[in-house]
Chains A and B, each alone.
Chain A
Amino acid sequence: MKDKENGDDSFQPKDKPSTGVEPKRETPESPKAGPEGATPSAPIAIEKPKAAAAVEQRGDADGSPSSLGDHKPGTDEANPRVAAKSVSTKRPQSFFGERPLPAIEMAPRVLRYRSRRDFLLFGTGALAALAGGAFLLPQDTLGRLGMRRNMDSPGTEWFLNKALRIDDDVAEALYSGNRRVPTYTTSQITPLKNNYNGATPDPGYISGWNLTLDGLASGLGISLDIRNLTSRFSVQEQITRLVCVEGWSAVAWWAGLRFDDLIRAYPPMSQAKWARVESSVNLDASGNPDPYFMSLDLATARHPQTLLATHFNGQPLTVDHGAPLRLLVPVKLGLKNVKAITRITYVAEEPRDYWAERGYSRYDGI
């Protein structure tokens, strides 16, 4: 009986090939345990075969106090499992059937060591998560929690921009010039609110309005008025959804010329990969001039459903919706759909973007 308990003493889980790490850490303890001069790793090395032997032994002498160990690890569980099966379930175990949790006998000191290790690890993880939260959350939110972060961390900006770029890359990878956005019927049209960020401009600008094109292959700047644009290009109409970064959306009827047609008529310089689309009539909330500028990749500009719209819901555009010409790019968020465009510049490098400078994404593909 006593022998058998000794035999049970140093059971190790059999499927634990990494035991080599732990005994080393435990060497400070083992000298007192094994003064006979066994090398520190020797006991562990012996344990595996011993475990098997002891299990066999126990299997013979059932009913002994140690028969708690009916669940044996790995190979030697055949006996009790058959017995258990004959009582609990008659069905053979299917692939999806739940397996009994394998019970293993562990030396208490190993358990203690592992618990300590795991608690330390998870505690460190919890502290790291707290630090990460303090690093990423805005001042205001932290202040409400009674915390103060004294300096504005440029690292936070960098990190979040990095995360944002990943999302932009995903959006760019998802984009396909051949994929059309869903179109709707007239009965599905919904109201579209005027979401000018600042004040709505005074309609006075419309009479002298011109669209200027820069960065063309010809090297010249070109200025077009609305009559040039509507007479020269074929009209495309579509009922599509406009999705705002704020979360709302609206289905509306739009008509205008294809951006692609304008690009064909006035080809950009060969290095150009981007268009900077600008509205100089944009105002801020207090009514002061606040030019709006936005980056648009040429692949998106050439999308067949990207329009330079002149009409909205059957009528010429009103000032609310960007008369006389606005960008309608349904594969981008609403904030890329510049109202009252005054200038388009083709450039090689990604141009500045009004909302990207205010913490939003640059690419905004949806």
Chain B
Amino acid sequence: MIHSTPPDCEPNSTSTPPEQTGVLVVRKHHFLVRWSHWLNVPILLGLILTGVSIYWASPVYQHKPDPTTGNFDVAADIGIWICAHVPGQHHYSDPPNWIYNHMSLGPGVLALALRLHWFCAYSFMLNGMVYLAGLVLGGGWRSLLPRRTDVIDALKMFRYYIGFPFAKLTRRNWLHPIFNTKYNALQRAAYFSVPLAGCLSVATGWAIHKPMQLHWLAAIFGGYNAARVWHFWLMWIYVLFLVPHLILVLADGWDTLRSMIVGWSTRLPTRVEPRQVIAHEG
């Protein structure tokens, strides 16, 4: 206020040139969003591992018991198939439990799996509320809302992703569709529907946890047994979301991954346009 050039700037500008210019950054993620995002990793992992262990006790997908082995669980069939056909698994000692030994806490630990599942489920609900608070406080919720143009924009993105490997192979130029928004339409659809799936998982979870006191909730999903099936398939939404999520974040680069830790990004999403505006003005 008093000094037009603060005393520390002059030596600074000569001694350490990189310090001179400020870096332009945008705030991308509120810190509550960042923390709850990363907390979802252990919580969802815990929910899925314990959930599959709970599934073991009474599999949704069953068939008539096999006359020789007595096996009735489709997941056990898959394990047997894997041990018969996947290289390196031929000598696996317990083929029917292959799925449960590799994708859950293990078979026969129902009591423990239930306790951990409740713990993770309550954590998941609290974490979801933290996430929502972060969306509201940071204003990020507006970037997640669906738009009227989303269908067409999503198709554009599909076309881009599908054409990308061929364009790379043929060394052609393959331009990313330009969007003036924080996320493209496909991202928006994903980031909007995964929290929605979280809400549905919580709702179906309560429906099968308290099917008598909350029988109206179970009825919404078609009754107790149907709510179990819902709850099971909602798990796959997280698994199916995770695959492209990881691939695309890694492909998109360090800035995107870092922004979920530090909150800011040096990529200015709408940078192109205001420049044009200024050019027109000039």
Residue ranges of B at the interface with A (Cβ–Cβ < 8 Å): 1-3, 5-13, 15-16, 18-28, 34-35, 38-39, 41-42, 46, 49, 54-55, 57-58, 60, 101, 105-106, 109-112, 114-116, 118-119, 122, 139, 142-143, 145, 180-182, 208-215, 219, 224-225, 228, 258, 261-264, 268-271, 273-278, 280-282
Contact = CB atoms under 8 A, between A and B. Distances in A.
B142 A49 contact: no
Interface stretch (A115-123, A204-212, A280-288): A115-123
B112 A359 contact: yes
A366 B8 CA distance: 68
B55 A163 contact: no
A263 interface: no
16 contacts: A6-B13, A8-B20, A34-B11, A36-B11, A38-B8, A47-B6, A67-B278, A71-B268, A84-B270, A87-B276, A87-B280, A98-B182, A160-B112, A160-B116, A164-B115, A181-B212
Interface SS of chain A: helix, strand, loop or mixed? helix
A87 B115 contact: no
A119 B257 CA distance: 12
Contacts of A163: 115, 118-119, 122
Contact of B119 (A6, A138, A160): A160
Contacts of A49: 1
A247 interface: yes
Interface stretch (A103-111, A147-155, A226-234, A254-262): A103-111
Interface residues of A, number: 98
B122 A97 contact: no
Contact of A366 (B9, B116, B213, B262): B213
Contacts of B10: 6
Contacts, number: 256
B8 A30 contact: yes
A205 B240 CA distance: 55
Nearest to A182: B215
A99 B209 CA distance: 40
A83 interface: yes
A51 B8 CA distance: 16
A3 interface: yes
A96 B19 CA distance: 39
Given A2-B13, A129-B41, A365-B210, 4 more contacts: A9-B9, A111-B25, A247-B57, A249-B224
A164 B114 CA distance: 9
A186 interface: no
Pairs of residues from A and B, 7 with the lowest C-beta to C-beta distance, nearest first: A34-B8, A359-B111, A247-B58, A105-B22, A36-B7, A246-B57, A101-B26
B22 A108 contact: yes
Nearest to B282: A63
